[in-house]
Amino acid sequence: MYYNAKVSIEISTDDGKIAQKKMVKKYLEGIQWVLFYYYRGAQHWRWYYPYHYAPLISDLGINIVRDFLGGAPFISKFENDFNCPLESHPYTPFQQLLSIMPIRSFKLLPSCYKRIATEELNEFFPDDFSVDLNGKTLAWEAIVLIPFCDQTLFLEAEKRMIASGKAQYTDRENNRN
């Protein structure tokens, strides 16, 4: 019931079992990413967990090494779910803010970025969106169900903006970025 209600995965079907297994694998990658980040440094700067919810803890009790890691003792390659070369370097500060900033806070970015968000990529910045209180009572405890950004689209939009000459940064903004 949980998978069907929260992530629209019907685990009684073969496709649903594959989707559930992918979700568990991504969750395990996330746990390992955090551990590696703190003990070895960032293994991949652009990895992210592509779900709003975690899998059930009972699903982690199966044979993780055999079923999810292919017999390896740990995940050796962090995968992304978007069609983009797996570049492992950090986003620039403006790219990071473009990817996570709500439209009402765009005054923290140069004004040219607001044009990207309101025109080219407006589907990623909805005015109205769902929240799941998930048993909580306060709005800040809710899970915000907004679309995940598409790295390729965001970076291409920024590249086009810069190439067109519409990105004119002050010296201060250049230093910030």
SS (H, E, C) 150-173: CHHHHHHHHHHHHHCCCCCCCHHH
Q: Mean pLDDT across the chain, nearest whole number?
A: 84
Same-domain pairing of 112 and 163: yes
Answer yes or no: do 55 and 97 share one domain.
no
Assign 133 a pLDDT band (cuts: 50, 70, 90): very high
Confidence of residue 70 (pLDDT cuts 50, 70, 90): low
| Same domain (yes/no): 54, 97 | no
What is the span of the domain harbouring residue 6?
2-67
Residue 84 belongs to a domain? no
pTM of the model as a whole: 0.70
* 101 and 164 part of one domain: yes
Q: Both 51 and 126 in a single domain?
A: no
Does residue 46 sit within a domain? yes
Q: Are residues 34 and 106 in the same domain?
A: no
Confidence of residue 41 (pLDDT cuts 50, 70, 90): confident
How far is it, in rounded angstroms, from Cα 84 to Cα 152? 6
Q: Is 175 left (phi over 0), alpha (psi -120 to 50) or beta?
A: alpha
Spatial CB neighbours of 49, under 8 Å, sequence gap ≥ 6: 26, 27, 29, 30
* Angle between helix 93-100 and 151-163 (nearest 10): 130
User: Is the predicted pLDDT of residue 82 greater than 50, yes or no?
Assistant: no
Is residue 141 a part of any domain in this protein? Answer: yes
User: Structural domain tally of the chain?
Assistant: 2
Q: Which two tokens stand for residue 121?
A: 């990529």
Task: Give the pLDDT confidence score for residue 4 in this predicted structure.
Answer: 93
At 145 the three-state DSSP class reads strand
52 and 106 in a single domain? The answer is no
pLDDT at res. 78:
59
